[in-house]
Every structure is written in C-alpha cells, then in structure tokens.
Structure 1
C-alpha cells in the first residue's frame, strides 16, 4: 500500500486535492481512500489530508503516520510543522516553493524531490493562491502513480463547469512546469 500525506492550510484545497487524487486512482483500477484531518477548521489553519492507494481493498481507515510521500501546498508549513516526520525511506516530496530547494536541504529518506512555484501558476491561472490542482499535476509528473489523463477526466467530472477549464489548465501546467530531482546513491567500493 502507498500512503500519501497532504499538508496545506484551510482554504487552499488540500482536502479537495486528496479526494480528486483518490477518484483518479480508482479510475485507473486501483483501490483508494481519502481521509481529511482538520484542526481548528478555519481558513488559513494548517491541516492534513491523507490518501491510501493499493491494488486490493483498503480496510483500515486511519491517518497516515508513515507516508511514502508528502505533498505540501504551502511552503511556509515546512518551517512551522514537521512535514517530513515519519516518512518512509525512498520517499517523495512534492513542494510548492518559490525558492530553489536542493536534496541537501531535506531529510535523506526523500528519494524524489519535486518543486514548483504553484503560487505563481495559481495567480496566473486563477488570480488567487489556490494550488491544489497544480500540485496534483506536479505529483503525477514526479511519481507516475497516477496519469494526467485520469486527473483531467476527474476534474471535468467533479468540478463545477464554470471552473473546469482553468483547473485543467492548472493541472497541466503543474505537470509540465515541476522541477524533479532524484537522489543518487553513491557507489560503494567492493571489498
């Protein structure tokens, strides 16, 4: 089972992104589960959402404490809460960040680092800092765990018609504009 933890703030669409990702995964023939976890339930407050993915039914309905990867919709959260806590070895991190982040700046258990200035893209597309579909596009590009076509089909089905086109543009830009870095394991000398 793959487990993904979303970190965002109330109003940024992290819960919607987790639900949309779950629908896209199921569309591809997987089993998926989306679980929101709210704190103070107010706009701007940190929150988490979780997605579980497997090729067989998922029975447990718990939060994700040891994720295979994280998706961080708000870069300021990386300095305010322990977003990397509990991550499994060889994990992935999809970060919304304006600044260039290197693998040396993040924990060693992160194998794939994907960064995108999703706020800039969101302001271009929506005229508001709503980064959820942009981050899903970046996730699809960086991990290959879901296809872009599945995400776009779900956006067309689940979003109100008046915002479908902008969200399709956002997810495609996230997919195409993400910067992906993979950690290479140094060669060991043969003894």
Structure 2
C-alpha cells in the first residue's frame, strides 16, 4: 500500500485557496509526485466556505473520496477553526493568523504543530505570499513531526 499524504485547505470564496493549492500541486508534480486535488464548495455565494482536498504519493493514488483525516490542514481564516471536525487529530496546522495565541483562542489546546502565517501582513508588505504558503506546506509535508 503506497504512503499517501493528505492535505486540506479551508478558506472563504475569494481567498485564493484554489490558486495557492494549484501552485502547490504543480510544484509537487514537477518533483515527481502523483497528486490528486479537487475543490469542494458551499452553494455559490460570496464569502462561503471553500475547501481543496489534496492527496500526494510517490505511487499512483486510487482513493477518490474527500480527505477526512488530513496530515496537514491549511486555514486562510482563523475563525474557520471553530467547529471543524477535520482538525481533530491533524498533525500540522498552518493558519492565517498574526500569532499562535490567536490560534489557541479559537482552537484551544491541541497536540498539532501550529504554524501561523500573517497573510494580510505579507500582502501589505508586497511579498509573494502564495509562494510563502506553498513553501510552508512543503516544509510541513517533508519535515519530521
């Protein structure tokens, strides 16, 4: 059975999660991985929940169902941490928040390794925030727990 890594992105419509997830997928494919990625939307309205499910492996992937126990969860809005069952048992959380204290406020105590990224601050500074997020996910994916 091949080792399959599961990643899930959460955001609101217009956050750019599909663009960043696609950038991650293209990077992984160029590195020789098999990748399955697909979006999941709430009914089409502004500011609704959007998810992107990603599976990564060195061998072909046969699973086609939604990611339910991700290794990495990426949240583009810290408020989305509330009432999110997929975060239970996740190994690594990457959250758009200016500090880990804010993440703790919404999530409470967790065993997950939390990485906070201030995407809004990166945007204001004019940095390449999509690449920063992709690099953070790659680092979390390929580093030891």
Q: TM-score, normalised by structure 2?
A: 0.80
1:107 matches 2:106: no
Is the counterpart of residue 6 in structure 1 residue 9 in structure 2? Answer: yes
1:58–1:9: structure 2 CA closer, same or farther, 3 Å change rule? same
Q: Compared with structure 1, are the counterparts of its residues 74 and 68 closer, same or farther at alpha carbon in structure 2 (3 Å cutoff)?
A: same
One of 130, 135, 138 as aligned partner of 2:136: 138
CA-CA distance at 1:137 after TM superposition = 2.7
Answer 1 or 2: higher relative contact order, Cα 8 Å, separation at least 6: 2
- SS of the aligned residue for 1:32 comes to strand
Q: Report the Cα offset of residue 132 of structure 1.
A: 4.3
Which runs of no fewer than 5 residues in structure 1 stay unpaired? 147-181, 184-191
Structure 1 segment 53-64 matched on structure 2, within 5 A? 53-64=56-67
Cα offsets for 1:38-63 (capped at 9, x unmatched): 01233311111111000111122221
SS of 1:11's equivalent?
A: coil
CA RMSD of aligned residues (A): 2.8
- Structure showing greater radius of gyration is 1
CA distance in 2, matches of 1:83, 1:96: 18
Q: Once the 2 structures are TM-superposed, how far is the Cα of residue 134 of structure 1 from its aligned partner?
A: 3.5
After superposition, the C-alpha distances for 1:42-86 in whole angstroms (9 at most, x for unaligned) are: 33111111110001111222210111110111112123x416445
Q: Aligned partners of 1:53 and 1:83: how far apart in 2?
A: 21
- C-alpha distance after superposition, 1:7-49 (max 9, x if no partner): 1110011122222211111110111111100012333111111
Rounded to whole Å, the distance in 2 between the matches of 1:133 and 1:63 is 25
State the number of aligned residues.
139
Q: When you count strand as a share of all residues, which structure comes out higher?
A: 2
Q: 2:68 aligns with which of 65, 69, 85?
A: 65
